[in-house]
């Protein structure tokens, strides 16, 4: 198999670059045509790689690509999930090269989606092609590649519920996470959940002159700032009543095991250009970013934000605020607590509206399962080193849904690096990681079919 990968590696890369040229930004409706173009590209490549069936399934939003190859109904089936949509690329001016004109530099592919998740999805399609071409596919395989992961996967949930038979499988395999380092392979065994909301504060019914009304009428920016500021206490704990009620605290033993994960705080700070880390008192940086719930403003705007100065007392101010959740917090419960709390602390002189954007549930993978062991063996063989089980800070809301709707456990076998700048300017993905993924995935299929 590695010979086939080697002989075709330039073509594999060139096809990925073609995919990266499509600006499939799901959050912004002006890219809707490109999102569809990316779906069609994925569908065609699945078919080319040897799928019996490859089709575009319409939803109320962006389409889902479904593909499969059933070699023997008696064999186990792996359901590969990924997404072909990408995060918005702005601020464009901070990119060293345009986000949708991929370049390979320093052994890395630079483009929006290079790692998250087009690069990682494309590893699966090329691994599948390799297995088919070398006649070594050892399980049935299904693909479900969606176009709304970056906006909350609302329609995927509906699709999954409505197509349980079509999606019937034995395990879900996802590459949308990171390893610790190229010489320290790891497998994510935990994901945080998410509640994402938008807050709108309205004071007067129109923008006012700050000289005429300033000091006499509520300023929605000042009010919103005060509300956001009040959401953390001095110890950086979240102040929303009952926010921590369902949080599972790790045992001292579990925390001690976690502390063994290779991590350099100095290197972390240097990479980010910061003099201090900031977070909840009593927890380490690794813990803050994985086993603890958090609250961050992801965006804020209001008043005059153009060039120069405008003496306006704005009518409205807005913020996008998200919370990362941990077992056993429930997205719906937290969304509700947040909404009620914001209403409760809204001062006189303003009205506050809270709109939920999307949410997802936290998830933990058991490491004593046969699927985890298959992934562990595959990575150990490919990397020459046993992978470390880690808890990731991000959210893939669909994972909890797979368990609920399809009764399936998920293996999060990602090949990115935290330094890949996903969701940021200059997102990139290492060539090493791309090819290592294509090499590792068939090994998972092999060991997974053997253990079944």
Site for a second copy in 291-350 (CB under 8 A): 292-294, 296-314, 317-320, 322, 324, 347-350
- DSSP code of 92? G
**Nearest approach, Cβ of 69 to a second copy (angstroms)?**
33
Q: Which of residues 229-248 bind a second copy (CB under 8 A)?
A: 229-232
The catalytically annotated residue of 149, 361, 371, 420 is 149
**Nearest approach, Cβ of 264 to a second copy (angstroms)?**
14
How far apart CA 441 and CA 128 sit, in angstroms, is: 8
Long-range contacts of 39-44 (CB under 8 A, 24+ apart): 39/63, 39/64, 39/65, 39/84, 39/145, 39/147, 41/84, 42/84, 42/121, 42/125, 42/145, 43/67
The catalytically annotated residue of 85, 116, 129, 146 is 85
Are the C-beta atoms of residues 155 and 62 closer than 8 Å to each other?
A: yes
Please confirm, yes or no, whether 85 is among the known catalytic residues: yes
Question: What dihedral angle (degrees, nearest 10) is formed by the CA atoms of 404, 406, 412, 415?
Answer: -140
Opening angle at CA 65, ends 61 and 66, nearest 5:
130
How far apart CA 390 and CA 372 sit, in angstroms, is: 12
Q: Which of residues 349-368 bind a second copy (CB under 8 A)?
A: 349-350, 357-358
C-alpha distances in angstroms, 193 versus 13, 264, 292, 362, 445? 33, 26, 11, 4, 28
# residues near a second copy by CB under 8 A:
102
**Nearest approach, Cβ of 275 to a second copy (angstroms)?**
7
Helices 118-133 and 2-20 pack at an angle, to 10 degrees, of 140
x-or-dash pattern for a second copy, window 187-216, by CB under 8 A?
Answer: -----x-x-x-x----xxxxxxxxxxxxxx
Whichever of 301 and 432 has its CB closer to a second copy, that residue is 301
Please confirm, yes or no, whether 149 is among the known catalytic residues: yes
**Nearest approach, Cβ of 376 to a second copy (angstroms)?**
23
DSSP β-bridge partners for residue 184: 181
How far apart CA 112 and CA 97 sit, in angstroms, is: 10
Q: Which of residues 258-277 bind a second copy (CB under 8 A)?
A: 272-277
Q: Which of residues 419-448 bind a second copy (CB under 8 A)?
A: 421-426
Whichever of 53 and 300 has its CB closer to a second copy, that residue is 300
377 contributes a contact to a second copy by CB under 8 A:
no
Q: Which residue in 17, 53, 217, 333 binds a second copy (CB under 8 A)?
A: 217
**Nearest approach, Cβ of 449 to a second copy (angstroms)?**
32
x-or-dash pattern for a second copy, window 143-162, by CB under 8 A?
Answer: -------xxx----------
Active site residues: 85, 149
């Amino acid at each position: 198999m590695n010979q086939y990968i080697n002989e075709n590696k330039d073509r594999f890369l060139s096809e990925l670059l073609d995919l990266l040229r499509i600006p499939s930004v799901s959050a912004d409706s002006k890219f809707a045509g490109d999102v569809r173009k990316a779906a069609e590209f994925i569908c065609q490549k699945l078919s080319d790689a040897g799928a019996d069936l490859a089709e575009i399934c319409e939803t109320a939003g962006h389409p889902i690509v479904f593909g499969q190859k059933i070699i023997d109904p008696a064999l186990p089936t792996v359901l590969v999930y990924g997404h072909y949509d990408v995060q918005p690329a702005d601020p464009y001016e901070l990119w060293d090269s345009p986000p949708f004109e991929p370049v390979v530099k320093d052994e890395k592919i630079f483009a929006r989606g290079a790692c998250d998740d087009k690069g990682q999805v494309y590893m699966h399609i090329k691994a599948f092609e390799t297995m088919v071409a070398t006649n070594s596919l050892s399980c049935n395989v299904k693909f479900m590649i969606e176009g709304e992961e970056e906006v909350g996967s609302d329609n995927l949930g509906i699709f999954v519920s409505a197509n349980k038979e079509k999606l019937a499988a034995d395990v879900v395999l996802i590459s949308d996470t990171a390893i610790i380092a190229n010489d320290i392979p790891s497998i994510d065994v935990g994901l945080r959940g998410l509640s994402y909301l938008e807050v709108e504060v309205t004071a007067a019914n129109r923008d006012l002159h700050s000289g005429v009304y300033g000091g006499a009428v509520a300023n929605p920016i000042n009010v919103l700032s005060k509300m956001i500021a009040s959401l953390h206490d001095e110890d950086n704990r979240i102040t929303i009543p009952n926010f921590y009620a369902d949080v599972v605290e790790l045992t001292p033993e579990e925390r001690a095991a976690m502390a063994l994960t290779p991590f350099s705080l100095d290197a972390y700070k240097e990479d980010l250009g910061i003099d201090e880390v900031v977070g909840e008192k009593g927890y380490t940086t690794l813990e803050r970013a994985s086993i603890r719930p958090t609250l961050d403003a992801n965006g804020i705007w209001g008043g005059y934000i153009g060039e120069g100065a405008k003496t306006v007392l704005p009518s409205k101010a807005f913020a996008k605020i998200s919370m990362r959740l941990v077992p056993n917090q429930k997205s719906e419960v937290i969304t509700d607590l947040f909404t009620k709390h914001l209403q409760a602390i809204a001062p006189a002189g303003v009205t506050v509206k809270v709109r939920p954007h999307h949410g997802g549930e936290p998830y933990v993978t058991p490491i004593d399962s046969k699927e985890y062991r298959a992934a562990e063996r595959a990575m150990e063989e490919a990397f020459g080193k046993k992978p470390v089980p880690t808890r990731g800070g991000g959210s893939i809301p669909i994972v909890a849904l797979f368990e609920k709707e399809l009764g399936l456990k998920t293996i999060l076998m990602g090949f990115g690096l935290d330094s890949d700048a996903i969701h940021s300017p200059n997102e990139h993905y290492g060539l090493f990681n791309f090819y290592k993924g294509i090499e590792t995935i068939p090994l998972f299929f092999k060991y997974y079919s053997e253990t079944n």
